[in-house]
Amino acid sequence: MKRLLISTLAAALLGSTLSLGYAQAADDIRPRMIRFGYGLNEDSNQGRAAKLLAEEVAKASGGKLKVRTFASASLGSDDQMQNALIGGAQEMMVGSTATLVGISKEMAVWDTPFLFTDPRQADQVLDGPVGRQVMDKLEEKGLVGLVYWENGFRNVTNSARPIEKLEDFEGIKLRVMPNPVFIDTFKRMGANAVPLPFSELFTALETKAVDGQENPFNTILSSKFYEVQKYLSVTNHVYSPWIVTVSKRWWDGLSATEQDILMKAAEKARDAEREDTRREASQALATLKERGMQINEVSVDEIQRMREKAQPAIQTVIDAVGQELFDQVQAEVEKASQ
């Protein structure tokens, strides 16, 4: 009896030793350290959501999966982090879809100027089948897309003059994301578009290497652009999603349970982040005014003129993503507008 027990125990021990380093059981959770990088500071909608994601993962994994967050591009710009994920040197990140187009051209479909007019429309399309389809394209490139978060509707700030009409863009050195559609759109509207990574933006504004930039109200506030920019012009020229991505090389080595924990946490953080972002955005204008910015709403007629000027940039999107995907997204936007 005793001998039997001992040999059973020994077999069990041997079994568990042997299983180390071999394929992990589907429901297994191993102690892991996960580096999660992002570009904005901790005190931003992006930072708050990253923190929430980390807490959710710790809770759901009994502390075994530890997400360590790295704010303010301390692991690198969006582009640098994407490449670190592909190479397996970093596990996770969140950044703009617009900075991914060099890796996965279909992402450019979200850069279509004036694509969405309402955040709910964006949620429906991004979280629906076509949003997933665009995300799944990343896998060929060594990335896995989990969910879209909200960056938001983008608006223009600068230090030269309020943008009240199309002609006011003339000669403005405007930083844009390193992305062909953004460069094209703003060139067509008359600005001198200068692509720069976000991590270099504050200094570029401060030293007047550029006159202006465009980002959602939330970012203008959290990145303190009001300290170096006088004018904020409400253009809402494009809705910008953020996307949570992971290294595919790393993801493929996780158990189903571990993947599920990360996915659920990313979704939970998404829902909270969208609410947080919309709440913050609705109060941001008043705050930015208090901080000294001069704010103007661009008239409907002038927005229409800007829209017409930017229209040919849509061809740049179609060239990148193909007519079929472009039409599919248009159809989904149409559906979401009803």
Report the interface residues with ligand TK8, using CB under 6 A. 39-40, 78, 95-96, 99, 151, 177, 198, 215, 219, 240
Alpha carbon distance 118, 121 (integer Å): 5
Handedness of CA 114, 117, 121, 123 (dihedral sign): positive
In the bound complex, what is the minimum distance in angstroms from residue 240's beta carbon to ligand TK8?
6
Q: Closer to ligand TK8 at the Cβ: 40 or 85? A: 40
Alpha carbon distance 78, 68 (integer Å): 17
The answer to whether 276 and 132 have CB atoms below 8 angstroms apart is no
Q: Closer to ligand TK8 at the Cβ: 245 or 247? A: 245
Q: Closer to ligand TK8 at the Cβ: 41 or 330? A: 41
Q: Closer to ligand TK8 at the Cβ: 95 or 180? A: 95
Q: Closer to ligand TK8 at the Cβ: 95 or 113? A: 95
In the bound complex, what is the minimum distance in angstroms from residue 258's beta carbon to ligand TK8?
26
In the bound complex, what is the minimum distance in angstroms from residue 217's beta carbon to ligand TK8?
12
Alpha carbon distance 155, 177 (integer Å): 13
In the bound complex, what is the minimum distance in angstroms from residue 95's beta carbon to ligand TK8?
4
Q: Closer to ligand TK8 at the Cβ: 60 or 284? A: 284
In the bound complex, what is the minimum distance in angstroms from residue 203's beta carbon to ligand TK8?
14
For residue 46, give every residue at least 6 positions away whose Cβ sits within 8 Å of its Cβ, in sequence order, or none. 38, 39, 40, 94, 149, 222, 242, 273
Give the H or E element holding residue 241: strand 239-247
Q: Closer to ligand TK8 at the Cβ: 169 or 198? A: 198
Tokens describing residue 206: 């401060």
Tell me how many helices (H) and strands (E) the chain has. Answer: 13, 11
In the bound complex, what is the minimum distance in angstroms from residue 106's beta carbon to ligand TK8?
18
For the chain, how far is it from start to end, CA to CA, in angstroms? Answer: 73
How far apart, in Å, are the Cα atoms of 46 and each of 80, 186, 232, 320? 18, 26, 21, 28
In the bound complex, what is the minimum distance in angstroms from residue 210's beta carbon to ligand TK8?
12
Amino acid at 168: D
Number of neighbouring beta carbons within 10 Å of residue 335: 12
Which residue is closest to ligand TK8 by CB?
39
